A = this chain, B = another copy of it.
Amino acid sequence: MARIKLTVAYDGTDFSGWQLQPRQRTVQGVVEKAIMKITHAPARVHGSGRTDSGVHAMGQVAHFNCDDHWCSIPWQRALNGHMPKDVRILHSEVVDDDFHARYSARGKVYEYTLWHHSAFCLPQRRRFVWNCGDVDFETMESAAAILLGTHDFAAFQNVGTVVKTTTRTITSISRRPGITEHETIWRFEANGFLKQMVRIIMSCLVACGRGKLSVEELQLILESADRSKAPATAPPQGLSLISVHYP
């Protein structure tokens, strides 16, 4: 048996997220189907984590097992030949059997793109941004600073999700200009993220930037560990999984 690691990019717009679901178009489902077309055997693809419906990826990582004689085929090209254009394999490689896309991951990078123009969002960018209108970047950066480091992020997790621990370490939150003059890209690096964590943090930062939430109130939300204290989750289309880091 051989294990293959894949780096996967997708436009999440027309997917019901990463994870396989009955009667839904999912990225995992599309990749598994493409592998089966090549090997004619059922395949189980393990991603580094789920991405929600509408969320994009530039560098999702996944792995799957195959018989040894499939080991040396050019998987990247072969899979791309069997998949729709909104998913592409960017890279494939043979890895050791102890590599696991999810359990071996030591960190992830997400980016969230905001659009700032109350009157319109450019149609060409609408699938990849959240039009949050005018915000004050300095206030958002002050708010972001209190989230850096190791905290219990239970207040920033989708309700109803069960995990061993809700403690995570955010190592960096940074901002840079986007593709057009109306965009900013917020980059989040952590040892891991809870379900919807980036989107809930983003909605908090935007609330701060709009003057609807103070930095002190954000501090209280963090300390409360209570999801109901934080604003509604930011929409999925602004979010993209950029990379997953392994030892």
Tell me the A residues contacting B by CB distance below 8 Å: 9-11, 56, 58, 76-77, 80, 85-90, 119-124, 126, 128, 179, 240
| A–B complex contacts, Cβ < 8 Å, 8 sampled | A9-B120, A11-B124, A11-B126, A80-B119, A85-B126, A88-B120, A88-B121, A90-B120
Distance A89 CA – B123 CA, assembled complex (angstroms): 10
* Neighbouring B residues of A128 by C-beta, 8 Å: 124
A90 to B128, CA, bound (A): 19
Taking the nearest CB of chain B, how far is it from the CB of A69, in angstroms?
A: 23
The answer to whether B124 touches A9, judged by C-beta atoms less than 8 angstroms apart, is yes
A41 to chain B, nearest CB (A): 25
Residues on B with C-beta less than 8 A from A124 are 9, 11, 56, 58, 128, 240
Closest to A125 in B: B11
Contact among B10, B77, B120, B179 for A89, CB-based, below 8 A: B120
B9 in contact with A80 (CB, 8 Å): no
Would B179 and A123 count as touching, CB distance under 8 A?
no
Q: How many angstroms between the C-alpha atoms of A69 and B245 in the bound complex?
A: 61
A111 → chain B closest CB, angstroms: 12
Residue in contact with A9 in the complex, picked from B9, B76, B123, B179, CB distance below 8 Å: B123
Q: Are B76 and A119 in contact (CB under 8 A)?
A: yes
Cβ contact within 8 Å between B86 and A126: yes
Per CB-CB distance, the 4 closest pairs between chain A and chain B, nearest first, are A11-B123, A88-B120, A86-B123, A11-B124
Give the CA-CA distance A88 to B121 in the complex, in Å: 7
Q: Please pick, from B80, B119, B121, B179, the residue contacting A120 in the complex, using a CB distance under 8 A.
A: B80
How far is B59's CA from A120's CA once the two chains are assembled, in angstroms?
13
Most central of A56, A121, A124 by chain B CB within 10 Å: A124
- State the CA gap A89–B80 with chains docked (Å): 37
Cβ contacts under 8 Å, A121 to chain B? 85, 88
Measured between C-beta atoms, what is the minimum distance from A148 to chain B in Å?
A: 28
Bound Cα distance from A80 to B76, whole angstroms: 42
**A232 to chain B: closest CB distance in Å?**
20
Q: Are A10 and B123 in contact (CB under 8 A)?
A: yes
